[in-house]
Amino acid sequence: MKAINSLGAGIIEKIALQFPYRFWDNKVQGADFFGHVPPSASKRGLFAVFYDMDPQKKYSVLMSVIAGEAVASLRNLEDKQVLQQCMTTLRELFKEQEVPDPTKYFVTRWSADPWIQMAYSFVRTGGSGEAYDILAEEIQGTIFFAGEATNRHFPQTVTGAYLSGVREASKIAAF
């Protein structure tokens, strides 16, 4: 329990937007992401970075992250309202040109899902990375634990979750 309590559960949401064309290409060159410093502390964690999810330039998809306290500020909003706030940010970033409305969009709601409620683990102040190792310990050779919170070298990542699954599958196969 001490190891579990020494880790925190980070909350993050994402919005993916598909556009009719890549309006950002003229301004953003040679990078697969762009961002800005939010104008105030109240906007911190709200659409600060946009990732180009389509390096082959076929589908014109951007994804942005909502993190920290900003997640709570959007929790009671409809997806359309979240989209409107995101589009306001994009239009501020690209004032000198037309930013089209997206043809499709999707807003995650992981923090509201009773089976998820979080996105990643983190070491709390005063904790240590040893908590990841402790959580990875099997119980009597019959119960095994996987997930990013059991991988000290790659916490907070899909890679960490995947590798921990491979690790535990190898242990099970060895029996």
Q: Are residues 140 and 108 in the same domain?
A: no
Q: Is residue 120 part of a domain?
A: no
Indicate the number of domains in the chain. 2
Q: Is residue 122 part of a domain?
A: no
Q: Is residue 169 part of a domain?
A: yes
175 residues of the chain, pLDDT tens digit each = 888 888 988 889 999 999 999 999 988 888 899 998 888 888 888 999 999 999 888 999 999 999 988 999 899 999 999 999 999 999 999 999 999 999 999 999 998 899 888 888 999 998 888 999 999 999 998 999 999 999 999 999 999 999 999 999 999 999 8
Task: Output the six-digit token pair for 109.
Answer: 């709601």
How far apart CA 136 and CA 173 sit, in angstroms, is: 17
- Torsion on CA atoms 50, 102, 70, 79, rounded to nearest 10: -150
The single-letter DSSP state of residue 174 is T
Q: Which domain holds residue 154?
A: 128-173
- Helix ranges restricted to H, 38-129: 69-74, 79-93
Q: Are residues 45 and 97 in the same domain?
A: yes
Q: Are residues 15 and 43 in the same domain?
A: yes
Q: Are residues 73 and 105 in the same domain?
A: yes
Q: Identify the pLDDT of residue 69.
A: 86
Q: Are residues 78 and 158 in the same domain?
A: no
The CATH number linked to 73 is 3.90.660.10
End position of a domain, from candidates 112, 136, 161 = 112
Q: Is residue 121 part of a domain?
A: no
End position of a domain, from candidates 80, 112, 144 = 112
Q: Identify the pLDDT of residue 127.
A: 86
Q: Are residues 91 and 142 in the same domain?
A: no
Q: What angle do CA 142, 147, 152 make, to 5 degrees?
A: 105
Q: Are residues 63 and 18 in the same domain?
A: yes
The secondary structure element, H or E, covering residue 66 is strand 61-67
Q: Is residue 16 part of a domain?
A: yes
Whole-structure pTM value: 0.79
Please name which of 159, 142, 141, 118 lies closest in space to residue 150, comparing C-alpha atoms: 159
